[in-house]
């Protein structure tokens, strides 16, 4: 009897103990990153401003980027001017202006026919431009059908961010199921639109490989469904803008949903 009693006694604290953040934090802290959440206002701004949708900076020699599938002008999803980034993150993608174009033509269903959830789709364009003032010539009006209204990024707010259970395991840290559950309960990695931090993966960990060197590309920005853009990736999916750390001109947008 006493043996059985001891077994129960031993098991009891484990089954009733709830994992708490104070215990998990020392394991996670070495993998802490800052994620930066944009403060935005609905407002048209100058072509070089950082924004969701609106008018991108273009040079006088170029046309608004068009989709390779339907040949229509693509929505500007995001434009980030490196000068507008938080002080500590100014060089995160290099000098210049990062632009993300994405075709939302529903009639031609470019998103589906071009597999736009995969990186490097023909109906997307992600690039960094570095035009000098002399050659900037952006249109005053968007040629995009049903263009989303512009939200200018006017500042940033940082929050601590942590990887999910699968990603931290890939780094070599094994969490118990309860610890993984706690990370989920605390909603790490953080959702919503954010600069840097850890990707909020809907499916598994899916860093695109650089077409040139094959290395996993690095997260630059996360665009979530219906946060600053009135757009849903599949069924409440989440998209990630990534860049190769060695080949800075290799950039991609890709997304997944459940
Ligand atoms: Zn298209
Ligand atoms: Zn590369």
CATH number at residue 195: 2.30.320.10
Who's near 111: CB < 8 A, 6+ residues apart?
103, 104, 117, 123
pTM score: 0.91
CA of 62 to the centre of ligand 1 (A): 18
What was the pLDDT predicted at 167? 93
Residue 9 lies in a domain: no
The rounded distance, in Å, linking the Cα atoms of 238 and 245 is: 22
Q: Is the residue at 212 inside a domain?
A: yes
Instruction: Starting from the CA of residue 74, give the closest ligand.
Output: 1
Q: Are strands 218-224 and 194-196 parallel, antiparallel or unpaired?
A: antiparallel
237 phi and psi angles, rounded to 5 deg: -80, 180
pLDDT in tens, 158-185: 999 999 999 999 999 999 989 989 999 9
Query: Can you tell me the distance from the alpha carbon of 200 to that of 192, in angstroms, rounded to the nearest whole number?
Result: 9
* Number of domains the chain is built from: 1
Low-confidence ranges of the chain (pLDDT < 50): 1-16
**Residue 72 forms part of a structural domain:** yes
Q: Is residue 38 part of a domain?
A: yes
Instruction: Determine if the peptide bond prior to 189 is cis (ω within 30°).
Output: yes
Q: How far is CA 138 from CA 46, 48, 142, in A?
A: 9, 9, 9
Q: Do 110 and 67 meet the contact criterion of CB atoms below 8 Å apart?
A: yes
Instruction: Report if residue 5 sits inside a domain.
Output: no
Q: Which two tokens stand for residue 128?
A: 């960094």
What is the reported pLDDT for 133? 87
Domain that holds residue 99: 18-256
Q: Which numbered ligand comes closest to the C-alpha of 145? A: 1
Residue 7 lies in a domain: no
End-to-end CA distance of the chain: 50
Angle, helices 177-185 vs 21-28, to 10°: value is: 100
- Ligand 2 center from residue 154 Cα (angstroms): 32
C-alpha of residue 214 to centroid of ligand 2, in Å: 6
**Residue 47: inside a domain:** yes
Which ligand has the minimum distance to the alpha carbon of residue 69? Answer: 1
Q: Is residue 8 part of a domain?
A: no
Q: Is 187 exposed, middle or buried (0-12, 13-18, 19+ CB in 10 A)?
A: exposed
Please name which ligand lies nearest the alpha carbon of 125.
1
Query: Which ligand is nearest the CA of 66, by number?
Result: 1
Question: Which residues lie at CB < 5 A from ion ligand 1?
Answer: 67, 69-70, 103, 105, 110, 123
């Amino acid at each position: 009897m006493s043996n059985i009693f001891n077994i129960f006694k031993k098991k009891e604290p484990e089954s009733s103990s709830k994992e708490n953040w104070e215990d998990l934090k020392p394991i996670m802290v070495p993998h802490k990153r800052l994620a930066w959440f944009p403060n935005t206002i609905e407002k048209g701004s100058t072509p070089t401003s950082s924004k969701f949708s609106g008018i991108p900076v273009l040079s006088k020699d170029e046309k608004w980027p068009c989709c390779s599938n339907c040949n229509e002008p693509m929505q500007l999803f995001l434009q980030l001017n490196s000068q507008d980034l938080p002080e500590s993150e100014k060089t995160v993608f290099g000098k210049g202006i990062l632009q993300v174009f994405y075709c939302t033509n529903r009639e031609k269903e470019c998103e589906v026919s071009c597999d736009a959830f995969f990186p490097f789709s023909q109906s997307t364009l992600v690039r960094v431009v570095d035009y000098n003032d002399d050659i900037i010539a952006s249109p005053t009006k968007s040629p995009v059908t049903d263009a989303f209204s512009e939200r200018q990024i006017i500042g940033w707010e940082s929050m601590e961010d942590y990887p999910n259970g699968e990603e931290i395991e890939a780094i070599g840290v094994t969490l118990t199921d309860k610890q993984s559950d706690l990370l989920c309960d605390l909603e790490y990695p953080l959702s919503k639109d954010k600069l840097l931090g850890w990707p909020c993966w809907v499916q598994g960990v899916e860093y695109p490989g650089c077409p040139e060197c094959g290395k996993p590309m690095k997260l630059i920005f996360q665009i979530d469904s219906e946060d600053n853009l009135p757009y849903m990736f599949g069924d409440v999916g989440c998209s990630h803008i990534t860049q190769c750390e060695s080949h800075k001109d290799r950039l991609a947008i890709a997304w997944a949903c459940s």
